[in-house]
Amino acid sequence: MGRGRRLSVLVVVILFASLPIHSQARSASADVASTRTPFGVVGNLAISVRTDEQAAVVKLMQEAGVQWSREEISWERLQKTRDQDFAWVGDSGGFNNYDSAIDKQAAAGINMLGLLDYNPAWYKGQNGTVDDWINDWYTFVFATVSRYGQQRNEVFTWEVWNEPNLRMYGYENGLYTINDYIKVLRTAQQAIRAADPRARIVLGGVTAVWSDPPSYNYDILTYLHMLGDAGGWDTFDILAIHPYRPGAPEDTFWRRDRFVDFDDELADIDTLLDHYGHKPIWFTEIGWSAYSGYEGHSEQEQAMLVTRLYVLSLAHPEVEKIFWYNFRNTAVAFSDYPDAANDPHHPEYNFGLLRRTYPLDTRQPDLRKPAFSAYRAMTDLLGTLQFETTVADGKRPDLKRIYWYRWSRGDNHVEALWRMPDATVTTVSMDCGCDEVHIRAWDGHLLRVIQTGNGQLSLNLPTAGEPMFVQYGTVEAANPAGLFFAETSHGLSGRFLRYWQAHGSLAQFGYPITGILSEPDPSTGIARQVQYFERNRFEYFPENDGTAYEVQLGLLGDNLLLKHGVDWHTLPVHADTPPGCRRFSETQHLLCPPFRAYWETHGGLALYGLPISDASTENGLLVQYFERNRFEEHPEYSGTPSEVLLGLLGRELYSTWGIGP
């Protein structure tokens, strides 16, 4: 939807998205290459991000794994008067710098969908016809496509107008009839073909209208039938829709004359395509707002919806790309840019994957919303794979309200699945034909490594509505630049190998039980490379490159206590400090023989962290928990280096046989 003017259509369009689940097999009209880059966002860097912050936004796009960005090129901003040159580099305030926005995204390897809209600034408020400015429209389109297509080789796909089926973007911008929009489309088609014959043309995204449409507002099917019947189907290459819905994607809602779910809606689109001719489908806008008002969603719910939206959408063979609206929260209308004003109770300003902050610091702890982590997990896990099959679409008799989809490439597989509150089962069985699977949460963090033995496993599905990923396939190949361990079929290389070798190797950390994974930092959401070992987790901090802290260990001691329901802050402490013991003021816990000597001679604070319990007996052994590990006394090895051993916390926390998570 148009930026800054969404509120006036609340009576027409319900601003919460849903998405496709499609179980009927159809022949895909999209080529394989394009369906492998489905992950888009509405970026709008030029019109919403000041030039000095565009590089930071692009860096965040790269972190999220964004493959496509929709960049609105607003005619009314680009050319204020009829005789004015096009202002490609923006204004003195640092806004509307299209050259900068498009250059930076192209240099980062992000594909762009250029959005061309609306009628000219000098014609706003007049009651003339399209004919009064159609020649100027040709000039604008030709100049824009020539500059960013043929000349600069940066944009090759162009969307012509935005939501022409709504009064505020169609009728109020001079498109009084369907023939007016067809004239705009056909003129743009001629200009685009003349400026860059390679370019593809996308229909202006047609948005859903759930209420009875007021005058000059038309629902998706109505408007597309009008377009086809009036002879406009040949003016574009790709069909764009904005399928916003009033609630969760898996649910049905009343639409004037019947209850429909997203599968019903896409089936109607399929029928329309059968009639007028098949074209790929792009969702050039779709999303949910995380706000605290009526029918709002929490940020956590928004994150779950991001994953389910993309998974269900891509299960439909005609859907090629999905652009989340939008990448960054917008600010309250007319607020100063540095003010970063935001209303948490208003849907308009809270659709983003990022909060709006100023200045934009990519390291800021509260910048990334949970939805950002959900989006990044999908691009990490699914971004190089191809959709393979629907295992369960919510309607399967034995798995009602279970949703389960598989992606593959070669021998690498990822399955995404979740249950709804009214699902008939909470545990499912899987035959993966594999020895090991990784179970990862909606945000990408590791939940479990399951050894199957016979290729069979049983999965306990998480909380209703919460997706998880099951990852399996080819084990890592031996790396000549590193080490490979047949015992676990995982390897070590690079900085993690150097750290492992320099700090005690097998005795300290055990074997690797995963390869390198990407996970969100729990305190900031920043993507981190991590690798799990029998006794710990390595975490890479690129901001500390070249220092002793570029690789750090995970807080697995703390994690294990929490798993067992123990908050170490509540554990008892001794009042006295016995001889030979050391008290840590940060936690008030003691470090005494035999653990003190081991802690002090084998790495101390850097490797084990602070003690978070005093020594106690557990399963017949004297043990003590530290932030990053657990020490165990083995009296049978008294007087030998094995008297104190480290707990296998990595395996205890993350590894099981045959069932998870």
Q: What is the mean pLDDT of residues 545-558?
A: 93
pLDDT tens for 245-257 read 988 999 999 888 8
Return d(Cα 96, Cα 29) in angstroms, integer.
36
For residue 584, being part of any structural domain is answered with yes
Helix (H, G, I), strand (E, B) or coil at 516: strand
pLDDT band at 26 (very low <50, low <70, confident <90, very high): very low
Residues 64 and 38 in one domain: yes
Residues 444 and 367 in one domain: no
For residue 410, being part of any structural domain is answered with yes
Residue 334, pLDDT score? 65
Q: What is the value of pTM for the model shown?
A: 0.91
Return d(Cα 73, Cα 70) in angstroms, integer.
10
Residue 7, pLDDT score? 32
Query: Pick from 276, 206, 203, 269: which is nearest to 238 by CA?
Result: 203
Residue 1, pLDDT score? 54
Residue 274, pLDDT score? 97
Contact 444, 520 (CB under 8 A): yes
Contact 595, 584 (CB under 8 A): no
Residues 92 and 207 in one domain: yes
Query: Pick from 146, 79, 80: which is nearest to 114 by CA?
Result: 146
pLDDT tens for 158-176 read 999 999 999 999 999 999 9
> Residue 273: is its pLDDT beyond 80?
yes
537, β-bridge pairs: 532
CA distance between the termini of the chain: 40
Interstrand relation of 157-162 and 111-117 (parallel, antiparallel or unpaired): parallel
Residue 15, pLDDT score? 34
For residue 104, being part of any structural domain is answered with yes
The label of the residue with tokens 């001629």 reads 190
Residue 514, pLDDT score? 95
Give the CATH number of the domain where residue 436 resides.
Answer: 2.60.40.1180
For residue 659, being part of any structural domain is answered with no
> Residue 241: is its pLDDT beyond 80?
yes
Residue 33, pLDDT score? 41
pLDDT tens for 527-542 read 999 999 999 999 999 9
Residue with the larger pLDDT of the pair 611 and 489: 611
Q: Which two tokens stand for residue 659?
A: 């069932």
Residue 295, pLDDT score? 80
> Residue 217: is its pLDDT beyond 50?
yes
Residue 548, pLDDT score? 86
> Residue 9: is its pLDDT beyond 50?
no
Return d(Cα 591, Cα 610) in angstroms, integer.
9
Return d(Cα 486, Cα 646) in angstroms, integer.
22
pLDDT tens for 307-357 read 999 999 999 999 999 999 999 998 876 677 887 778 888 889 999 999 988
* Helix-helix angle 262-276:220-229, to 10 degrees: 0
Residues 162 and 175 in one domain: yes
404, β-bridge pairs: 392, 417
Return d(Cα 442, Cα 524) in angstroms, integer.
16
Residue 639 belongs to what domain range? 567-647
Q: What is the mean pLDDT of residues 551-576?
A: 95
For residue 657, being part of any structural domain is answered with no
Residue 345, pLDDT score? 86
Contact 444, 517 (CB under 8 A): yes
Residues 121 and 244 in one domain: yes
> Residue 31: is its pLDDT beyond 50?
no
pLDDT band at 74 (very low <50, low <70, confident <90, very high): very high
Torsion angle defined by CA atoms of residues 350, 352, 358 and 362, in that order, rounded to the nearest 10 degrees? 150
CA-atom Rg of the chain in angstroms: 28
pLDDT band at 126 (very low <50, low <70, confident <90, very high): confident
Chosen domain end from 366, 383, 400: 383
Per-residue CA distances from 656 to 102, 137, 317, 453, 530 (Å): 48, 63, 36, 11, 20
For residue 660, being part of any structural domain is answered with no
Determine how many CB atoms are found less than 10 A away from the CB of residue 451: 15
Residues 289 and 265 in one domain: yes
The label of the residue with tokens 């965040």 reads 60
Least-confidence region, from 1-15, 135-149, 540-554: 1-15
For residue 342, being part of any structural domain is answered with yes
Return d(Cα 620, Cα 52) in angstroms, integer.
62
Q: Which two tokens stand for residue 316?
A: 């439909």
Residues 355 and 426 in one domain: no
Backbone angles phi, psi at 422, to 5 degrees: -100, 20
> Residue 105: is its pLDDT beyond 60?
yes
Sequence-ordered list of residues with C-beta below 8 angstroms from that of 131, at least 6 positions apart, any chain: 183
Total domains in the chain come to 4
Chosen domain end from 530, 554, 578: 554
Least-confidence region, from 3-17, 230-244, 315-329, 539-553: 3-17
Residues 200 and 103 in one domain: yes
> Residue 470: is its pLDDT beyond 60?
yes
Return d(Cα 517, Cα 445) in angstroms, integer.
8
When the pLDDT of each residue in the chain is averaged and rounded to a whole number, the result is 91
Over pLDDT 70: what percentage of the chain? 93
CB burial of 92-112 (b: ≥16 within 10 Å; e: otherwise) equals eeeebbbbbbbbbbbeeebbb
Residues 444 and 550 in one domain: no
- The widest CA-to-CA distance across the chain, in whole angstroms, is 96
Give the CATH number of the domain where residue 14 resides.
Answer: 3.20.20.80
Interstrand relation of 39-42 and 68-74 (parallel, antiparallel or unpaired): parallel
> Residue 661: is its pLDDT beyond 90?
no
pLDDT band at 10 (very low <50, low <70, confident <90, very high): very low
374 class by beta-carbon count within 10 Å (0-12 exposed, 13-18 middle, 19+ buried): buried
Return d(Cα 219, Cα 206) in angstroms, integer.
8
Task: Of 139-143, 380-384, 488-492, give the range with the top mean pLDDT.
Answer: 139-143
Q: Which two tokens stand for residue 203?
A: 């229909």
Chosen domain end from 434, 453, 474: 474
For residue 538, being part of any structural domain is answered with yes
Return d(Cα 448, Cα 576) in angstroms, integer.
41
Sequence-ordered list of residues with C-beta below 8 angstroms from that of 327, at least 6 positions apart, any chain: 41, 42, 43, 57, 60, 61, 64, 66, 69, 352, 353, 354
Q: Which helix (H) or strand (E) holds 359?
A: none
> Residue 212: is its pLDDT beyond 50?
yes
Return d(Cα 337, Cα 48) in angstroms, integer.
9
Residues 200 and 305 in one domain: yes
Return d(Cα 65, Cα 84) in angstroms, integer.
38
Residues 247 and 148 in one domain: yes
pLDDT tens for 411-461 read 999 999 999 999 999 999 999 999 999 999 999 999 999 999 889 999 999
pLDDT tens for 49-59 read 999 999 999 99
Residues 361 and 422 in one domain: no
